[in-house]
Structure 1
């Protein structure tokens, strides 16, 4: 009798151990992939789909479940590449090299023709994912008949988005931080900032008119100006309005001795972009406050931000969520990746819609606590896209991971 009881206790203990082990294993996975060690809202998890990229900057989910990733590699010219990730058995993706030797690839989007459009320094190219080498063609710059993008100075990377008509909005970032001169010399407050003025201005969004199906550029214009660096662009799903998240300047404390540092100033911005509007860079910051280098500037004529974002959050990618896979509260919210390495960066947030559908409601943290930990570096999200499956896909360039935000299995 004692032997039987002892065996029964041993069996129960073994079963409990197996159950605990299974629970621990489940807690370490997300949709069959390794779970990223971060905080997410209840019911959601972040899966690591792939890692080991050098400097992943762009992602485009495809209808068949494949992913295309643009890897800049580093800041040196002609080191970048584009990869195809194909779902495979056992919770992994197979990698196929599509293109290499590219000049700092960053933005990648799916065009109205089903082809991929890739932003390089000074150029935009398109290609067919099934035959990339043979179909690679310049749309802007390169061997096209269209003048190259400026690609100058501090903000030379290309980001872009197509609107519903197939026209292309393209970021032309500023060459400087705040129009400083050589060796960081302060600009002359009595003179306009040369790089921010005129038809070839930097710190603008250009709109290129395209003729389809050839994707032929028929002309372009400066759509909006006074925008330091428009890496994060998104079209509202209901109104078609263009929204932009601007990266604020650095080192403002150098011109404002009353500040100990620039940790909380200036704010980054969320702007509703309107044709012909000027948003104030480099003359004004925050809600139309004169920059310390231009203390007498009248900022009332510039377009104020629709929303102030945390200082140095560095939004580099965003998308409106139109799917049904995530909880209903996130529908039509603007999902933004905060790339910055300071206190407000390294996270993913959802800006919920207000009563009019604009992304001006509550900010909800979707991925947080993305700090450096044993076996996992700090996250620095860049491109953010919604997949055809209704999940959110992103790449981050600090540890080279591809991440999927999804509903956790019960």
Structure 2
């Protein structure tokens, strides 16, 4: 099999051949990104060859060649990204959005900080005016974060300056924590598209430093999902990070949790098929039974009970057994809601990529415009106690808003006061394991749907 460009760089470490292959690829695909970089690397490589021909011995020759390999690898990823941006519709659209985005770093900081300040100042206003000001601020801010997400997602290889900027921005206490989490997700999606060692090191630093838990564990998911294969030869800093992580007992435990979560996410479709095949028919068959937060009750005397004494008791036992099976699957980490909610991702909310990863909050413009006062407590309960991932909470709220006028007040009150989000389940949404699990489910839904 003919070696790939990546293999030529990472395995064969042949700069000259890799540059020839890249130049040919760029010509074949009519790619323009990286042309200047290609000429500079070619010139430096030729200079090194000239020195060899003249018998000039460079004591730092190995380091010079390794630097050329790294630069060639960065060029390879620049070419790959340019090809992807031209071929994939979603990335082409993101590129168009990013093109009009202000790349000025001071502007990014002032905009994100300005949102926090505007919300803080609004708290000084009377209630009616406060709601209106915050609603307007959220609408403008959400659009800005979407553009920032797209800009980061399609960004090329980062310089040291850009790396320092985003690391500082994510860790800044003066921007909203939801924004910081969305930026981490944008970096992760960018890494999963084309690897960039500097972006990867940003996520590693977020995880290793003493940052808020939701930032650290979102970053951990990112660094493990985008972990490079073989590139540690070119980037020893990646190997150094992994050595530090693997020698830390707490980090090893968190990695085991993450591996378990990834296993269950990868089985989401199989679990959904099992629920549809073995559990849902029982619920449909026993539609004369009423499920409440604390029990399963008979709606009225059933024909089964008249003709077959004890049928209701058997149906109750069967329903409780199926409910227990679903609870056990959920508590073990299974993604029992994927099948149901996979059919609810067609609304315009999910046309904006950042919305797949934004933590749920009731004041999100898409949510605030749909729910009325009678549903606000229900939505708040979902965000605090629900066992859905953020993506599914948004879907549930959109579905709920469509039938809100048909819901009796006592049902709304039950949903607002009880542990919402599907089935009663003793889940600590703030525990590291569930932070990782719910975030992984968001990522899984994005790529699968």
Tell me the TM-score normalised to structure 2 length.
0.25
Tell me the TM-score normalised to structure 1 length.
0.26
| Structure whose CA Rg is larger | 2
Higher strand share: 1
